[in-house]
Amino acid sequence: MMINVCIAILLPSILGFLLLAIILRKDPATTLGERICLSFPLGAGLVTLQIFFLGLMRIPLTLVSTSVPLFFELILLAVWIGRKSISLVPQKRTEHSLLAEITDPGNGWFKKSAYVVLLIWIGIKILSVFMETGLRPIFAWDAWANWSAGAKIFLNAHSLMLDAATQDFFGKNAVDRNIFYPLHNSLLQLWMSLWLGRFDDTSVKFFSPVYLLCMAVFFYDITSREVGRLYALALLAIVLSSPLLSYHSTEVYSDQMLGVYLLLASASFLKVMRGSTVYCLPAGIFLAEALFIKEEAAFFVIPFLLSVFIYFYKRGRTYANISPLLTPFLALLPWYGLKAYYGLTGMTVFRWNIESTYHFWINSSVISFQPAILGSFLYSMMSLENFNVIFFFFPIMLLASGKASKEILHLLFPVVCYILFFLMLYMFFTGFYSSHSMTLARNMLTCFPTVSLLTAMLLKKLVATHNLQPLRISSTNDA
């Protein structure tokens, strides 16, 4: 069974890796490790979109029908790479490896010990997440009642159940399914199940820790360039210690994987701002995939695109750079077209018209201004629950680091808009902010990796002051 799990994870990874080899062929700065980490999230998103297209075309969703196009694509990409002589392994090795850092005689024993301790800590943590995933079957409410219920139905019906009344699409509201929710999670579980030969409540979850692994290594790679290897390792250990992130990485929730895609999109944009414009396409793909995971991703993606547009507009280069970033969104047209045509929106299924909209949003008790939530929101963000001290220190670091760089501002803008969106949602609509701010924690998990990246960038500014010389106050001493 584990071999099948490995194949189900490896195939999308290979697809992602080959695509990245082509996209990043002129970017030798991206290390092999980074490419491998980007591969699975990229490939998994493409595979689920592909399965959705197959389902839309009423092609039975079997192992053969979902795998054959993938194998065909892999062969096509391999031939292209061979013909164009594109190197799969980047030629340029930028810095010496972490191992070389540990064995470097120039480093003191304390630094070397810190490297070893942090590496062991991180390694054990990631390994333990994989172990825990294998120990427990799906147990969390949203995971089984919504995402897995959908996967089970698709697996059994070999279809997306689109030959039914609108309210019965995607297996209707079986168990606790929301039929207007994006399908990435359920389709990824379907993909795993097709390879497993049945729906297995334990094995089907293994893509979740893989997302964590990809995020962790990529996060380390990108932050080590910001603050150095030691700080990057320490920061990674701190990020991975987030209890909520760890627990979610063992389950088939969508919050953690959305967080990974938002991080990858933000990091890709960071690379674009630093001159690697080839990253426009991966950034666009990750953003489009994020929209296929959870609906609220739109409130990150829209300000993100605005930020990108402003960035390029100020440099007088708009269309040429924006187009590769926007192109991947075309793949989502069938999904949004289907939703718009059949009215699969909002809290219930209804045809989009002024009367029903007015009734639902205005003439019902959904809207209610609750200012007390602002205090509760701020308290939760500062309470250290779930996210270590990252959210507590982030505003402090932002203020202390002085004038924010353009890079930070461009990455910060979508994060702030996203958090404000949730705050407005909680304050103006009833039912979104459950007791003890629990919904907030899950929503914040989706931007936690990106906020952690921004924390690393702020740390870079703060740590850089270490190199400053002490102020020479007394001139008499010099004399």
Partner 1 sequence: LRRSLPDMQWDIPHIFLTLPISTATIMSVFLSPEFRAIIYFIMAFMMMLTTIFFLKRKYRLSEALKKGIVAAFFTSAVIYAIHADAGWTQWLLNDLKNYGGLSTEEKLGKMDGGLYEFARQAKTIVTEDYQIYSPLHYETKRLEYFLLPLDRREKIPYLREKSKYIIVMADPESRYDAQRRVFTHGGAIITDLDLVLSFPDYYILKKR
Q: Which of residues 209-238 bind partner 1 (CB under 8 A)?
A: 234, 237-238
Please say which residue, 92 or 466, places its beta carbon nearer to partner 1.
Answer: 466
As measured in angstroms, the least distance from the Cβ of 23 to partner 1 is 35
Contact call for residue 439 and partner 1 (CB under 8 A): yes
- Tell me which residue of 107, 397, 436 sits closest to 226, measured CA to CA: 397
At residue 372, what is the residue type?
Answer: A
Contact call for residue 144 and partner 1 (CB under 8 A): yes
- Tell me which residue of 256, 294, 307 sits closest to 415, measured CA to CA: 307
Please say which residue, 27 or 132, places its beta carbon nearer to partner 1.
Answer: 132
Q: Is 367 helix (H, G, I), strand (E, B) or coil?
A: strand
Please say which residue, 31 or 401, places its beta carbon nearer to partner 1.
Answer: 401
CA distance 280 to 319: 12
Contact call for residue 295 and partner 1 (CB under 8 A): no
Stretch that binds partner 1, among 265-273, 339-347, 408-416, 463-471 (CB under 8 A): 463-471
Contact 329, 285 (CB under 8 A): no
Stretch that binds partner 1, among 50-58, 300-308, 356-364, 438-446 (CB under 8 A): 438-446
As measured in angstroms, the least distance from the Cβ of 134 to partner 1 is 9
Stretch that binds partner 1, among 69-77, 196-204, 259-267, 411-419 (CB under 8 A): 196-204
CA distance 396 to 31: 33
CA distance 287 to 302: 10
A 10 A CB-CB count for 389 gives 12
Contact 445, 256 (CB under 8 A): yes
Q: Which of 247, 309, 429, 432 binds partner 1 (CB under 8 A)?
A: 247
Contact call for residue 463 and partner 1 (CB under 8 A): yes
Q: List phi, psi (to 5°) of 429.
A: -125, 135
CA distance 388 to 40: 27
Integer distance in angstroms from the first to the last C-alpha of the chain? Answer: 78
Contact call for residue 115 and partner 1 (CB under 8 A): no
Q: Which of 136, 274, 351, 406 binds partner 1 (CB under 8 A)?
A: 136
Contact call for residue 446 and partner 1 (CB under 8 A): no
Please say which residue, 39 or 246, places its beta carbon nearer to partner 1.
Answer: 246
Q: Which of 128, 323, 353, 363 binds partner 1 (CB under 8 A)?
A: 128
